[in-house]
A and B are shown apart, each in its own frame.
Chain A
């Protein structure tokens, strides 16, 4: 691949500015916890199950801590106290916290109460076991991947969205048999807005299927079985986003998912989730995701569904720099950052194909180690499925010519319905043709230094740099409130879930986070 002749000093400067943006938020993140982070800590200690109304035990515990005003201590402190007092297991301790006597206002006032140190000491073996569970899941996945191997890039990524997990599993198998490398089960649309993770296998959803631990297992089991028959490792995707972002990250890690959609900006802009809440949640979730070796998919491609893809292309690039900076602060290596972008330029514009190539190549070379995720046209598609199929052909060509890592295949029925089995088949067959026919095209392309593609790439980079300067000057929260990204305005104190953001107190205990941050 020959790089576009751009000024690398501008790229370096973009990274430095993005670092300033992320640092500006990191202090807030480090000083706060959230109800979903605390629930994730409980899940990591093995707390499982729901009550008769379907409320997860982890919610019952954290809701009580919230009512007692004690979340700022970290629920692990209270779990550890009960373990120090003789609870047999974390599960037993959690049940007492949820359903036992009321929580004391000052837990350390009672005579003979275990100290903070005693609580932490009692948690230590359980913390080790929690990390060992994550590591074992990672080891199993990596062994399977190494043994069976994955196909060449771009990896072919398709979605299933039936609402019924058993149909999803069948559709996932059929897609894999037709050549898919990666299967994403689309979530039920309202799930990002509910503050708990549903439980068990589900057969009814809206525009997708509920993300639950059991549903993850069902699809993974189907792929485990299918990949042995096909002799090719199959990757599974779900959504670590919305109000339960870190909890889903943990469940995904445990159930050996390969990728998760994980991007606070997406939740802020498109689901009106409170910015403070989801940036804190994102940090903790990325710590888990990093430990688990899962690839994240970020959602910058979505900006171009609300903002214009020609005028606002630079916002995608600027946001990718910021997303990278946030991920680095969670210890994530570049190899796990599936930064997103999309083929969303109006197809009636002359040379739109050149503009798409410029952007795709620019992103590819600026983020060389990152498994970049290339998204298809959605906005400028119609019910003319034959025309849409042609659009996807050009999209596939840009994908292979610019060496994208992950390609979510376009569906010719994009604007008609969630994909039918045959829609995925036709998309996979088309992509196979283009990828095979143009496998080494990128080796042959040398960019005209005075041409349209190079000029466009330089322009987008310069505009992204200017925007990062603005955002670095005013701060991330202010920029989001002003509608800098996707033309959507979200105030720092607006949106859903702010009540679940709590300042950490000096006593705050979270041995899981300490371990993930490498402090124990």
Chain B
């Protein structure tokens, strides 16, 4: 059944949206008209330039409202989502102890030149994220956080040494799609080394499951992911069916 949707501002289906941007010209009546035309060319109607601010000698900042006639059939949109049970800390440990019967080994790192460990720390470190304990805190998980700026080859070597079940890669830096190249190289290298049988998970603020799958990973986790979600996914894959 089709389900047509539009942006909802004041009234259903009004298609009203806001956007902000900078143009490299000083504020003027002409600049304001340029902003309005620019928004129209983006496909907006009833464009209202709510503000024009001087953001530098030759820069103007605009906040613009407009309406769009575009409508989407929500029912036709298909996005692969990570399917994992919503298990909690205790449940996960119980399942590992009863159904796997040994500790699950997880190795994680920020790879390449990426120095931002916030993501990997949130998932792996004892403290966890948003009240959800990190994987280090699970008695039935051995978690190794290799930290930042870890070379892809070094990550795989370490994973082999500790007998990892799953490899977690965090990519925060996205300048010029560095995260994509680097992540793809890891999977290529794993294939070469015959290690693609391990589970590969990718996380980061600009990562989603679809992108991760395209890059050859088993799953992708975006912003707001809790450690128990990652643990549930790993454990669900490992439990014998």
Near A by CB (< 8 A), chain B positions 175-201 give 175, 178
Q: What string of 1s and 0s marks CB contacts (under 8 Å) between A464-485 and chain B?
A: 0000000000000000000000
Q: Is B174 an interface residue (CB 8 A)?
A: yes
Q: Is A329 an interface residue (CB 8 A)?
A: no
Near B by CB (< 8 A), chain A positions 411-430 give 415-418, 420-422, 425-426, 429
- Which residues of the partner chain B approach A174 to less than 8 Å between Cβ atoms? 55-57, 59
Answer whether A271 and B125 are a contact pair too, CB < 8 Å, given A163-B175, A420-B22.
Answer: no
Nearest Cβ in chain A — how far from B185, in angstroms? 15
Nearest Cβ in chain A — how far from B74, in angstroms? 22
Answer whether A429 and B53 are a contact pair too, CB < 8 Å, given A271-B115, A306-B117.
Answer: yes
Near B by CB (< 8 A), chain A positions 160-175 give 163, 173-175
Near A by CB (< 8 A), chain B positions 47-87 give 53-57, 59, 61
B56 touches A206 (CB 8 A): no
B175 touches A270 (CB 8 A): no
Nearest Cβ in chain B — how far from A421, in angstroms? 5
A173 touches B56 (CB 8 A): yes
A189 touches B56 (CB 8 A): no
- Which residues of the partner chain B approach A206 to less than 8 Å between Cβ atoms? 113, 173, 175, 178
Q: Is A365 an interface residue (CB 8 A)?
A: no
Q: Complex Cα distance A271/B113, Å?
A: 11
- Which residues of the partner chain A approach B20 to less than 8 Å between Cβ atoms? 422
Q: What string of 1s and 0s marks CB contacts (under 8 Å) between B135-152 and chain A?
A: 000000000000111000
Q: Complex Cα distance A272/B146, Å?
A: 11
Indicate which residue in B55, B115, B174 contacts A178 across the interface (CB closer than 8 Å): B55
Q: Complex Cα distance A352/B111, Å?
A: 34
Near A by CB (< 8 A), chain B positions 116-146 give 117-118, 121, 125, 127
- Which residues of the partner chain B approach A379 to less than 8 Å between Cβ atoms? 118
B interface residues, how many (CB within 8 angstroms): 28
Q: Is B205 an interface residue (CB 8 A)?
A: yes
Q: Is B223 an interface residue (CB 8 A)?
A: yes
Indicate which residue in A207, A416, A422 contacts B173 across the interface (CB closer than 8 Å): A207
A417 touches B174 (CB 8 A): yes
B178 touches A382 (CB 8 A): no
Answer whether A416 and B55 are a contact pair too, CB < 8 Å, given A193-B149, A379-B118.
Answer: no
A177 touches B56 (CB 8 A): yes
- Which residues of the partner chain B approach A383 to less than 8 Å between Cβ atoms? 205, 223
A418 touches B56 (CB 8 A): no
Indicate which residue in A163, A175, A305 contacts B118 across the interface (CB closer than 8 Å): A305
B61, B174, B205: which has the most chain A beta carbons within 10 Å? Answer: B61
Q: Is A487 an interface residue (CB 8 A)?
A: yes
- Which residues of the partner chain B approach A421 to less than 8 Å between Cβ atoms? 22, 55-56, 59
Q: Complex Cα distance A324/B20, Å?
A: 44
A415 touches B223 (CB 8 A): yes
- Which residues of the partner chain B approach A175 to less than 8 Å between Cβ atoms? 56
Q: Complex Cα distance A271/B55, Å?
A: 35
Q: Is A517 an interface residue (CB 8 A)?
A: no
Q: Is B114 an interface residue (CB 8 A)?
A: yes
- Which residues of the partner chain A approach B113 to less than 8 Å between Cβ atoms? 188-190, 206-207
Nearest Cβ in chain B — how far from A171, in angstroms? 9
Q: Complex Cα distance A272/B149, Å?
A: 10
Nearest Cβ in chain B — how far from A361, in angstroms? 27
Nearest Cβ in chain B — how far from A490, in angstroms? 10
Q: What string of 1s and 0s marks CB contacts (under 8 Å) between B1-44 and chain A?
A: 00000000000000000001110000000000000000000000
Indicate which residue in B53, B178, B205 contacts A416 across the interface (CB closer than 8 Å): B205
Nearest Cβ in chain B — how far from A428, in angstroms? 9
Q: Complex Cα distance A207/B175, Å?
A: 6
- Which residues of the partner chain B approach A429 to less than 8 Å between Cβ atoms? 53
Nearest Cβ in chain A — how far from B120, in angstroms? 11
| Residue of A whose beta carbon sits closest to that of B121 | A306
- Which residues of the partner chain A approach B57 to less than 8 Å between Cβ atoms? 173-174, 177
- Which residues of the partner chain A approach B174 to less than 8 Å between Cβ atoms? 417
- Which residues of the partner chain A approach B121 to less than 8 Å between Cβ atoms? 306
Answer whether A487 and B61 are a contact pair too, CB < 8 Å, given A415-B205, A420-B22, A422-B21.
Answer: no
Indicate which residue in A272, A308, A417 contacts B147 across the interface (CB closer than 8 Å): A272
Nearest Cβ in chain A — how far from B140, in angstroms? 22
- Which residues of the partner chain A approach B205 to less than 8 Å between Cβ atoms? 383, 415-416
Q: Complex Cα distance A217/B56, Å?
A: 22
Nearest Cβ in chain A — how far from B55, in angstroms? 4
Nearest Cβ in chain A — how far from B121, in angstroms? 6
- Which residues of the partner chain A approach B21 to less than 8 Å between Cβ atoms? 422
Nearest Cβ in chain B — how far from A76, in angstroms? 33
B21, B56, B118, B148: which has the most chain A beta carbons within 10 Å? Answer: B56
Q: List 19 A-B contacts (CB under 8 A).
A: A163-B175, A173-B57, A174-B55, A177-B59, A178-B55, A189-B149, A190-B113, A190-B149, A270-B148, A271-B115, A271-B148, A306-B121, A306-B125, A383-B223, A416-B205, A422-B61, A425-B22, A425-B55, A425-B59
Extra 8 A-B pairs, beta carbons < 8 Å, given A206-B175, A425-B56, A425-B59: A163-B175, A173-B56, A177-B59, A178-B56, A206-B113, A207-B115, A305-B118, A417-B174
Q: Please list the residues of chain B having a beta carbon within 8 angstroms of any beta carbon in chain A.
A: 20-22, 53-57, 59, 61, 113-115, 117-118, 121, 125, 127, 147-149, 173-175, 178, 205, 223-224
Top 3 A-B pairs, shortest CB-CB distance? A174-B56, A425-B55, A190-B113
